[in-house]
Amino acid sequence: MKQFIVGPVEMFPSTKEVLTKGYTYFRTSEFGDMVKSCLNKVSEFLGNSVENSLIYLAASGTGAMDAVVDNCMNKEDKALVINGGSFGHRFCELLEWHNVPYESIDLKWNEVVTPEDLAPFNNKGFTTLFVNIDETQTGKLYDIKLLSDFCQKNNMFLVVDAISSFLADEYDMEKYRIDATIISSQKGLCLSPGMSLVSFSKRMIDKIYSNSLPKSYYFNFRDYFKNIERGQTPFTPAVSIMYELKDMLRLIEQAGGKDEWIKIVANKAKYFREKSIEAGLSIPSYPKSNTLTSVYLEDVDAGEVVKLLREKYQLCVNPCGGDLAKRMFRVSHIGNTTIADIDDLLEKILLSIDEVKNNQLQGVK
């Protein structure tokens, strides 16, 4: 099965083979030194030079999002959320769960945030902005400079879920004055699922220490900061995924570094979009992350196309949920896929659309 999904992505062969080589006990200086080396490189990729400011968690992305709200916010805060899809909405749910006051800018699936959307929230006492910078449900990419400028104008913290955008789009924490970035293993890093990483500005670290202790014993970031000085975590980490990370960082450096890696992803996205339009497929016009492309089908059941691709051609793409389930599917450009793979996928997409369309006309289920 060839994976064109946003995560877990199609892994690279050498990374898959990591677990066959075995690994050392993790409470050793050797493991800690490897972790420090890996995290320093990831921090460099994130554009964060603050020492010991990147921690890693044995958790999914939602676990990291939950932990960030728990550790970084308090009842005196007032949050603003860019709520433009299911993943942006998750921040709303987490803030509500933790009893943090918030308001949201609610956007339709094909809308991006604009200065006009932000204007009513100027000088209203908001302390933190939360955004899923690439709304993974649709692939739309928000304007990080616009959001950063708004936060600076209003003296707000900026918290970014970059889980599906990292290593696919340009990103720099210090350039855009981002205070917390959440990423996960199974997307742009091309690793197994199960590990998330959170990177912090100095002022967010200070805020965490000034807050009262979080509700969670397991996700108490103060313990993680203390342990990360020696490359460790308070509890058992995702050991095997850290070894995978070491290999992927080697592959990225071998390809020419972060910027060259992003160009590879961007070129695949550009190629797929151009060829899709040539073939008569409909691609949304909003600004898009290089991570994925949504394909909109007006008169064909997109869910049936996804099913046929998987069952008949052994090609896996992401369906959409909710109101978009029958109208749209998503194709990932991250992971171990090539231009030749994209050509094959496009051929099979067109064949699947024709077959589903014919079945619909004939009333076949």
Which residue, among 24, 142, 43, 31, has the nearest Cα to 83 in the 3D structure?
142
Q: How far apart are CA 330 and CA 86, in angstroms?
A: 14
Residue with tokens 């996928």: 345
Say if CB 284 and CB 299 are below 8 A apart. Answer: no
Describe the chain by its helix, strand, coil percentages, rounded to 5: 45, 15, 40
Q: What is the pLDDT of residue 286?
A: 97
Q: What is the pLDDT of residue 362?
A: 82
DSSP, res 293: E
DSSP, res 288: B
- Residue 101 Cα distances to 92, 267, 302, angstroms: 10, 41, 38
Q: Per-residue pLDDT tens for 199-251?
A: 999 999 999 999 999 999 999 999 999 999 999 999 999 999 999 999 999 99
Helix (H, G, I), strand (E, B) or coil at 282: strand
Kindly report the three-state secondary structure assignment for every residue of 182-229.
Answer: EEECCCCCCCCCCCEEEEECHHHHHHHHHCCCCCCCCCCHHHHHHHHC
User: Helices 86-97 and 61-72: crossing angle, nearest 10°?
Assistant: 40
Which residue, among 276, 262, 264, has the nearest Cα to 342 in the 3D structure?
276
The rounded mean pLDDT for the chain is 96
Q: Per-residue pLDDT tens for 68-95?
A: 999 999 989 999 999 999 989 999 999 9
Mean pLDDT of 90-118: 97
For residue 325, give every residue at least 6 positions away whose Cβ sits within 8 Å of its Cβ, in sequence order, or none.
302, 303, 319
Q: Per-residue pLDDT tens for 246-303?
A: 999 999 999 999 999 999 999 999 999 999 999 999 999 999 999 999 999 999 999 9
Helix (H, G, I), strand (E, B) or coil at 47: coil
Residue 31 predicted with pLDDT over 60: yes
For residue 340, give every residue at least 6 positions away whose Cβ sits within 8 Å of its Cβ, in sequence order, or none.
none
Q: How far apart are CA 150 and CA 116, in angstroms?
A: 11
DSSP labels for 115-183? HHHHGGGTTS---EEEEESEETTTTEE--HHHHHHHHHHTT-EEEEE-TTTTTTS---TTTTT-SEEEE
Mean pLDDT of 320-331: 94
Which residue, among 273, 243, 238, 260, has the nearest Cα to 167 in the 3D structure?
260
